[in-house]
């Protein structure tokens, strides 16, 4: 009885039954689950959050949200004339490019032993482990690939597109050259799952977390009770620093020296009241 109790805590029945429904929805076709299912999770998460932010960017409504902007004099409000080209790139990268990229990654996932069966639904500790591995490898792969993209040859031909926006907004999270989006953005997201041999359920949970974070990091807003976007927003504003996602490798390599000591670095924190961080830590001098 004690063993059964432990198993029920670490692998709740709702996880198993919920995954069974998802598995049945795709008719037990594991290729479809991996490619189409993941495509749906990625796109539903991204577009629901990005379009919600876009409404605020275009309308400045509700008005109270505007005080949480990071760069308050930029895109205030967003000029809709810029949107067609951003939408075109975002739609291509998210809707068109992802399925073939996923198909290319699928054989590797099978070789690594990534499962999506109901019998292998992971325990909660295993899911947490998978998330931690994904977080670590996203930092590693994204930092080095992103720093490589800032090499003058690649920057001019590939990465400059993403840096057209010095004050980013949510859709800019996937506004990138297709080569960058496939090699740097997509592979960095799935690298940890590949290394850990994660179950597809863990992958989907990680994808939801990651897409929420990257939309937030590009949103241009630093909301209370949420992850700070200051680190990556500073990268867009200043360009040649802050290459990673967490800042760990930037610290170790010294590529955050311009950022350290800035007002943005002091504001880079989660805060737990409704007073904007820009008011709590006001501008004292030009950085």
Q: Considering its fold, how many domains does the chain have in total?
A: 1
Question: Does residue 286 sit within a domain?
Answer: no
Write the pLDDT tens digit of every residue in 261-281: 899 999 999 999 999 999 999
Asked if residue 8 has pLDDT above 60, the reply is no
pTM: 0.92
Tokens 């004050």 belong to 167
Tokens of 131: 């998330």
Question: Does residue 151 sit within a domain?
Answer: yes
Asked if residue 97 has pLDDT above 60, the reply is yes
**Is the distance from CB of 263 to CB of 287 less than 8 angstroms?**
yes
Give the distance from CA 207 to its chain's centroid. Answer: 8
Asked if residue 21 has pLDDT above 70, the reply is yes
Question: Does residue 170 sit within a domain?
Answer: yes
Domain that holds residue 247: 2-280
Question: Does residue 62 sit within a domain?
Answer: yes
Specify the pLDDT at position 92. 97
Asked if residue 191 has pLDDT above 90, the reply is yes
Question: Does residue 287 sit within a domain?
Answer: no
Question: Does residue 285 sit within a domain?
Answer: no
Tokens of 116: 């999506």
**Is the distance from CB of 170 to CB of 50 less than 8 angstroms?**
yes
Question: Does residue 194 sit within a domain?
Answer: yes
**Is the distance from CB of 169 to CB of 57 less than 8 angstroms?**
yes
Apex 233 CA angle, 231 and 237, nearest 5: 120
Instruction: Among 106-120, 127-141, 270-284, name the most confident range.
Output: 127-141
Question: Does residue 71 sit within a domain?
Answer: yes
pLDDT band at 110 (very low <50, low <70, confident <90, very high): confident
pLDDT band at 122 (very low <50, low <70, confident <90, very high): very high
Report cis status (omega within 30 of 0) of the bond before 77: yes
**Is the distance from CB of 236 to CB of 165 less than 8 angstroms?**
yes
DSSP letter for 174, please: G
């Amino acid at each position: 009885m004690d063993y059964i109790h432990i198993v029920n805590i670490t692998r709740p029945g709702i996880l198993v039954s919920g995954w069974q429904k998802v598995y049945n929805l795709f008719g037990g076709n594991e290729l479809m689950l991996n490619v189409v299912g993941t495509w749906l999770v990625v796109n539903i998460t991204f577009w629901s959050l990005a379009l919600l932010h876009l409404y605020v960017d275009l309308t400045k409504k509700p008005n109270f949200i505007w005080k949480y902007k990071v760069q308050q004099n930029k895109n205030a409000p967003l000029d809709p004339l810029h949107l067609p080209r951003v939408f075109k790139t975002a739609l291509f990268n998210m809707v068109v490019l992802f399925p073939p990229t996923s198909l290319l990654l699928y054989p590797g996932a099978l070789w690594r032993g990534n499962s999506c069966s109901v019998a292998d639904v992971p325990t909660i500790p295993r899911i947490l482990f998978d998330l931690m591995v994904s977080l670590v490898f996203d930092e590693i792969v994204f930092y080095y690939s992103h720093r490589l993209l800032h090499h003058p040859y690649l920057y001019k031909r590939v990465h400059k597109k993403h840096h057209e926006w010095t004050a980013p907004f949510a859709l800019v999270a996937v506004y990138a050259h297709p080569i960058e989006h496939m090699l740097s953005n997509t592979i960095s997201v799935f690298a940890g799952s590949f290394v850990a041999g994660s179950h597809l359920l863990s992958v989907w949970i990680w994808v939801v977390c990651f897409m929420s974070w990257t939309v937030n990091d590009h949103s241009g807003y630093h909301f209370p009770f949420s992850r700070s976007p200051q680190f990556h927003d500073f990268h867009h504003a200043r360009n040649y620093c802050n290459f990673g996602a967490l800042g760990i490798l930037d610290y170790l390599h010294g590529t955050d020296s311009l950022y350290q000591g800035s007002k943005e670095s002091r504001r880079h924190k989660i805060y737990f009241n409704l007073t904007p961080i820009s008011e709590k830590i006001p501008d004292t001098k030009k950085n």
